[in-house]
Amino acid sequence: MSPYALKRPVEIMLVEDNPADVRLTVEALKEGQVRHRMTVARDGIEALEMLYGRSSIGVVPRPDLVLLDLNLPRKDGREVLATIKSDPALRSIPVIVLTTSSAEEDIKHCYSLHANSYVSKPVDMDQFINLVKIIDLFWFQSAQLPML
């Protein structure tokens, strides 16, 4: 069932280390009018701590969707993806890899780790806003997601 059907904002976890990028995604979501609540993890370790409820910032809601950057300090996005997708308790959370890299090796590797999709960050802001709308339209308004 989609979160919108439940009449609550969607829970998005953004895993991204660069504050300028975080803010840009926040603004794109705002411009795209996606009703959401966002949790930001600044590296791979923080992301996994939040997902396992061991975060020092307290209990974080289980995300409806993870937006995952690949190049992160401490534990990179590939490791985070591998951990999520190998854990039966977490693997049903859709993970969208959102990164600057358009390297074939990265795309191949992420799909082999069961990424739900791989998206290159558009350089153009209008395209980025559009992308955020498409993600919202597909994952939250079209796709059926499992009940938690």
Catalog residues that contact other proteins under the rule CB under 8 A.
18, 20-21, 24, 27, 31, 100-101, 103, 121, 123-126, 128
Q: How far is the CB of 123 from other proteins (least distance, A)?
A: 5
18 or 86: whose CB is closer to other proteins?
18
Q: How far is the CB of 27 from other proteins (least distance, A)?
A: 6
Q: How far is the CB of 67 from other proteins (least distance, A)?
A: 15
Q: How far is the CB of 17 from other proteins (least distance, A)?
A: 11
Residues 6+ apart with CB under 8 A from 25: 14, 16, 67, 98, 132
- DSSP category for residue 62: P
51 or 67: whose CB is closer to other proteins?
67
**Length of the chain (residues):** 148
The three-state secondary structure class of 131 is: helix
Only one residue has tokens 């950057």, namely: 69
The pair of structure tokens assigned to 35 is 């009703």
Q: How far is the CB of 146 from other proteins (least distance, A)?
A: 34
Single out the residue of 36, 39, 69, 33 nearest to residue 51, CA to CA: 39
CB 37 within 8 A of CB 61: yes
48 or 118: whose CB is closer to other proteins?
118
118 or 128: whose CB is closer to other proteins?
128
Distance separating alpha carbons of residues 58 and 130, to the nearest angstrom: 33
30 or 91: whose CB is closer to other proteins?
30
